[in-house]
Amino acid sequence: MKFYSFWRSLASFRVRIALNIKNIVPDEIVEVDLLKGVQREAAYKKVNPQMLLPALIDGDGPILFQSVAIMEYLDETHPQPPLLPRDPRGRARVRALALINAADSHPLMVPRVRNFMEHELKLDEAAREKWIKHWIGEGLAAMEGHLSRDKETGKFAHGDAVTMADICVATQVTGAGFFKVDVTPYPTVMRIATSCMELAPFAKAHPLKQPGAPASLSH
Amino acid sequence: MKFYSFWRSLASFRVRIALNIKNIVPDEIVEVDLLKGVQREAAYKKVNPQMLLPALIDGDGPILFQSVAIMEYLDETHPQPPLLPRDPRGRARVRALALINAADSHPLMVPRVRNFMEHELKLDEAAREKWIKHWIGEGLAAMEGHLSRDKETGKFAHGDAVTMADICVATQVTGAGFFKVDVTPYPTVMRIATSCMELAPFAKAHPLKQPGAPASLSH
C-alpha cells in the first residue's frame, strides 16, 4: 500500500486516522508538498488527475482518491474495528455528519481555493481569513446543531464507539485550531473532539506530528 | 417518506434521480425556497440544523441529510437497482467520482457561498461568476481526467450500468449549463451525461421540470 499525503492536509489526516484505527501501516508514504504545489506537477497528476490529496494505491489500480471514499474502502476491506454502525439509518447519520466537514466545510479552504482568492480574485489576507473562519464556524455550528440534538450522540458522535463521523469532527476542530476560530459555541463538538484526540490512532495522526511539519509549530 | 427539496438545488436533484432510479415516490415533497432563504428559517432549522437541502424523513428520525449520505441510505434500504458496484475497489471509484461533484465542486457555489461573497466580501457579479465557472470547470476537468483514463469507464462512469457517479456527473454538467460553462474540453463527461439525461429517472428529475421552476427557463 502506497499513501500519498502531506502533513498539513486535513484530508490526508482523515485517512491517516482511519489507517491507524484499522492498524494498517502503508508500505510507502509519498509526501506531496501542497505548499509548493507539487500536487499540480505531472508526476502526481498521473497518479490522481484531480491533483488533490490524499491518494492511495492498494495493489493494482485504479488509484483510490477522495478521503471519504478511501475511508469507506478501508472499512469494507478491513472491517474491524468498524468505522460505520450496522444499521442503514445510523450509517446515514454518520456519513452525513462526516460530510459536513468533508464536503461543506473543508473544500472551501484548501490551498487551491486560497490561491484562487489571492491571485485571481485579489482578496487580501484579511478577507481570506474572514472567509476561512466563517466556513469553519458554519461547519462547527452544523455539527453542534446535530450532535447536541440527537439522542444517538454518545461519548462519540454516534454512540460510544468511534466512527467516520468522529474522524471528521476531529479534523474540523483541528482546522479550527490552525485558523484560531473561537470554539466556545460548540461544546458538544469540542467534548467529542477532545475524547478523540486522546486516543492513540488520532493523536499520532495529528498533522504536526508528521514528517515535514515545521518544528516551530510542533509544541 | 417526506422529501425537503427545491427545484434549483443540485443536491436535491441528485436525490431525486436516486429516488426515481429506485422507483420510490415520497409521500410528501416540501418545497424549501433557497432563493428566499427559507432554509434559514426556524421551521427548517428544526428539521436540519445544517440548514441546507436536501433532507429526507423516512419513518421515525433521525432526519436524513447530505445528498451522498441519503443516496447511500436509499441504496442500502432499496438495493435494486444498485447505485454502487459490488467490489470494494469499484465502490471506492464510484464514490470518489461522485465526491468530485458533491464535495469539491458544488459546495463552492451554493447560494450561501454566493451570498457571502456578495455581501461580506463585496465581490461584484463578474468576480462571483469567474469563481463559479472556475470551480465548475475544475470539477469537470477532474472527472474528465479520471473517466478518460480509466479502463473501468464504460457506457456510464463505471461500466455499463448507472451508478452514483453518473448521478453526480449529470448534476455537475447541469450546473455547468446553468452557468454557461464551456464543456467542449470534457468529451467523456459529456458523453456520459448525455446518456444519463436520456434516461427517464434523470430526465424527469431535472431542475427545470420541477414545480416552482420558472416557466421562462423551462424550454
CB contact under 8 A, A62 and B89: yes
Interior CA angle at B65 toward A72 and A106, to 5°? 60
Q: What is the CATH number of the domain that holds A35?
A: 3.40.30.10
What are A80-100's pLDDT values in tens digits?
999 999 999 999 999 999 999
pLDDT band at A107 (very low <50, low <70, confident <90, very high): very high
Whether residues B121 and B74 share a domain: the answer is no
The sheet that has B64-65: what strands, in order across it? Answer: B28-31, B2-5, B55-57, B64-65
Smallest CA-to-CA distance from B205 within B23, B2, B1 is with B23
Whether residues A38 and A99 share a domain: the answer is no
Counts for chain A of helices (H) and strands (E), in that order:
9, 4
In a domain, B211, yes or no: no
Indicate the pairing of strand B28-31 with strand B2-5: parallel
What are A9-34's pLDDT values in tens digits?
999 999 999 999 999 999 999 999 99
Checking if the pLDDT of B219 tops 50, the result is no
The larger pLDDT score, comparing residue A104 to residue A61, is at A104
Q: What is the CATH number of the domain that holds A119?
A: 1.20.1050.10
For B131, phi then psi, to 5°, come to: -60, -55
Please give the grid coordinates belonging to residue B30.
416540501
Q: Which residue type does B176 have?
A: A
CB contact under 8 A, B107 and A102: no
Does residue B60 sit in helix, strand or coil?
A: coil
Query: What is the reported pLDDT for B138?
Result: 98
Residue B56: CB atoms within 10 A of its CB come to: 23
Omega before A207 cis (within 30°)? no
User: By the CB < 8 Å criterion, does B93 face chain A?
Assistant: yes
Question: Do residues A94 and A84 make contact, with C-beta atoms less than 8 angstroms apart?
Answer: yes
User: What average pLDDT does this structure show over A3-7?
Assistant: 96
In a domain, B212, yes or no: no
Count structural domains, chain A: 2
Residue A214: CB atoms within 10 A of its CB come to: 9
Q: Which residue type does B118 have?
A: E
A49/chain B closest Cα distance in angstroms: 5
Q: What percent of chain B has pLDDT over 90?
A: 94
Whether residues B28 and B106 share a domain: the answer is no
pLDDT band at A144 (very low <50, low <70, confident <90, very high): very high
Query: What is the reported pLDDT for A164?
Result: 98
Closest residue in A to B55 (Cα–Cα): A96
In a domain, A208, yes or no: no
Q: What is the DSSP string of B5-49?
A: E-TT-HHHHHHHHHHHHTT---SEEEE--GGGTGGGSHHHHHH-T
User: By the CB < 8 Å criterion, does B72 face chain A?
Assistant: yes
Whole-model pTM: value is 0.97
User: What average pLDDT does this structure show over A45-66?
Assistant: 93
A11/chain B closest Cα distance in angstroms: 12
Whether residues A59 and A103 share a domain: the answer is no
Whether residues B65 and B109 share a domain: the answer is no
CB contact under 8 A, A121 and B103: no
Question: Of the residues A80, A96, A125, which one is the last residue of a structural domain?
Answer: A80
pLDDT band at A156 (very low <50, low <70, confident <90, very high): very high
What are B67-79's pLDDT values in tens digits?
999 999 999 999 9
In a domain, B13, yes or no: yes
For B182, phi then psi, to 5°, come to: -70, 120
User: What average pLDDT does this structure show over A45-67?
Assistant: 93
In a domain, B218, yes or no: no
Does residue B164 sit in helix, strand or coil?
A: helix
Domain extent for A51 = 2-80
Whether residues A45 and A6 share a domain: the answer is yes
